Amino acid sequence: MRPRPSAAGASQPPLVDSGSPLPTDTAQHLPLAADAKPAASGISWTASLGGGSKRVGIKHVLAMTEQLLTLLDAGLPLDRALHICQSSIEQPFFRGVMQAVVVDVEKGNSLGDAFMRHPSVFPRLYVNMVRAGEEGGVLPVVMQRLVEFYTRSIEFRSFLVTSSIYPVLLFFFGVSALLGLTVFVLPKFGQIFTDMHQELPMAAAVLIGTGEFLKTYGLYILAVIALALTGFVMALRDEKWRERWQLLLLRMPILGPLLLKIQLAHVCRTWGTLLASGVPILTGMRIVRELTEHIPLRKALDRLVRAVQEGKGVSGPVRADPFFPRLLGQLAAVGEESGALDAMLVKVADQYEKDIQKATRNLVALFEPMMILLMGGLIGTIVVSMLTAIFSINDMPL
């Protein structure tokens, strides 16, 4: 009969968090998944196995994690729980990945090591939290934190996406209505006056001229816009240009603070979840730093990592760095003093997400009437100009 690995996993070689001034404890001997390129912790990851490229969505991984948590809570051994999870996965590629994980665990490897072999499916955050749970013998607790973390992340991202759908649709249809009137309707009125050899009123002449210009050169204008957008996207591939663009967005009056809170909410929730799972401070900071695509924030985290390595703590450097908001530094100081930095970081993320949701709702509520008034005013101007031109026909000599 083959041995059944427990939830705590098999023995694993330690990898100490290098450069950490923290006291050596159990959690600091967790191995760090540093050999493989980290996967983003966003909505989906692109994974490859056996030469093929497939997409494994975060919802698939979340569903597997929830099922594994339920089975472990029910008292099943880890290998049997993994077998059940693997057999219930419908996506062929992900089922193959989990089959490889089951084989590795049955060979005596830890669950964290098995997950680490598939870095494009299980990101470093996921792997290191699982390892922390195995090292501390609290794998079900860590699985519960992973479920809560990714559930909140999905809900927050879904809120941002759904909140932007209505303004985008309203803008698109409004601009389409204006272009339709300007390009297809107004030139017909101009042709009527041309056939009658009569001069158009000034407002109607300007609008009809604009319509004729767009009808004649519209394709060229679209081509120029497409080229400009292509050049802009290619420029953003360069790190220096992308950093300049991100700094420019952060300096914008209303949008800047909102974007910063979005980035910080993700960083605080990720870091707090890692700390609560037993991952060392510096290891968690490095994981968060690698998962951050925002260059100014990544540089601020680099400065914070160096300060922590020098033994300056967390709250002091955060308060001294002008990039971080004052609230974050104050709450980090409270968390350090009380020994609950992980819980305080999660509370900061909760507060930022509430602020973001409130600000987003206010912006959407403000955008809707402004867009309606703007489009209504423009369309009304076109209609009034055309009616004025029509009424002027009565004043023409017979």
Higher pLDDT, 200 or 258: 258
DSSP state of 39: P
* Whether residue 8 has pLDDT greater than 80: no
Identify whether the C-beta of residue 112 lies closer than 8 Å to the C-beta of residue 135: no
Tell me the CA distances in angstroms from 359 to 168, 327, 351, 369, one per residue in order: 17, 17, 12, 16
**Per-residue pLDDT tens over the stretch 10-26:** 333 333 343 333 333 43
Transcribe 225-292 into DSSP letters: HHHHHHHHHHHHTSHHHHHHHHHHHHTSTTHHHHHHHHHHHHHHHHHHHHHHTT--HHHHHHHHHHH-
Residue range 209-216: mean pLDDT, rounded: 84
Mean pLDDT of 166-170: 84
The alpha carbons of the chain give a radius of gyration, in whole angstroms, of 29
CA torsion sign, 20 to 22 to 28 to 29? positive
DSSP notation for 195-206: HTT-PPPHHHHH
Q: Does domain 148-398 have CATH number 2.40.10.120?
A: no
Candidate CATH numbers 2.60.40.1250, 1.20.81.30, 1.10.10.1590, 1.25.40.10; the one for domain 27-137: 1.20.81.30
pLDDT mean over 27-33? 41
Rounded to whole angstroms, the Cα distance separating 371 from 172 reads 11
> Residue 2: which pLDDT band, with cuts at 50, 70 and 90?
very low
Residue 202 in this model has a pLDDT that exceeds 50: yes
**Separation in Å, CA 299 to CA 191, 243, 286:** 61, 10, 12
- 107 or 384: which leads in pLDDT: 107
Average pLDDT, the chain: 79
Report the alpha-carbon angle 205-210-213, nearest 5. 125
In the predicted model, is pLDDT for residue 244 greater than 90? yes
Which residue in 118, 135, 139, 170 sits closest to 76, CA to CA? 139
Taking residues 86-100, report their average pLDDT: 89
Range(s) within the chain of domains with CATH label 1.20.81.30: 27-137, 148-398
Asked whether the predicted pLDDT for residue 91 surpasses 90, the reply is: no
Instruction: Using alpha carbons, select from 252, 246, 275 the residue that is nearest to residue 336.
Output: 275
Give the model confidence (pLDDT) of 123-144 as tens digits.
877 888 888 888 777 788 888 8
Question: Counting beta carbons within 10 angstroms of the beta carbon of residue 25, is it exposed (0 to 12), middle (13 to 18) or buried (19 or more)?
Answer: exposed
Count Cβ atoms below 10 Å from residue 42 Cβ, excluding itself: 14
Residues 6+ apart with CB under 8 A from 34: 15, 124
DSSP letters for 323-382: TS-HHHHHHHHHHHHHT-HHHHHHHHHHHHHHHHHHHHHHHHHHHHHHHHHHHHHHHHHH
pLDDT given for residue 17 in this prediction: 41
Q: Give the C-alpha separation, 79 to 219, whole Å.
A: 61
pLDDT at 393: 67
Confidence check: pLDDT of 47 > 70: no
* Statement: residue 52 has pLDDT above 50: no
Going from the C-alpha of 211 to that of each of 192, 194, 216, 381, the distances in angstroms are 15, 15, 9, 14
**Does position 73 have pLDDT exceeding 60, yes or no?**
yes
pLDDT value, residue 394? 63
Write the pLDDT tens digit of every residue in 269-292: 888 888 888 888 888 888 888 878
Half-sphere exposure of residue 57: CA atoms within 13 angstroms, side-chain side: 8
pLDDT of residue 220: 92
- Distance of alpha carbon 179 from alpha carbon 204, whole angstroms: 15
pLDDT of 396 reads 55
- H or E segment to which residue 194 belongs: helix 186-195
Cα(236)–Cα(251) distance, integer angstroms? 18
Q: How much of the chain exceeds pLDDT 90, in percent?
A: 15
State the pLDDT at residue 54: 65
Task: Dihedral sign for Cα 173, 174, 176, 181, please.
Answer: positive
Residue 241 confidence (pLDDT):
92
What value does the mean pLDDT take over residues 306-329? 89
Tell me which of 56 and 398 has the higher pLDDT: 56
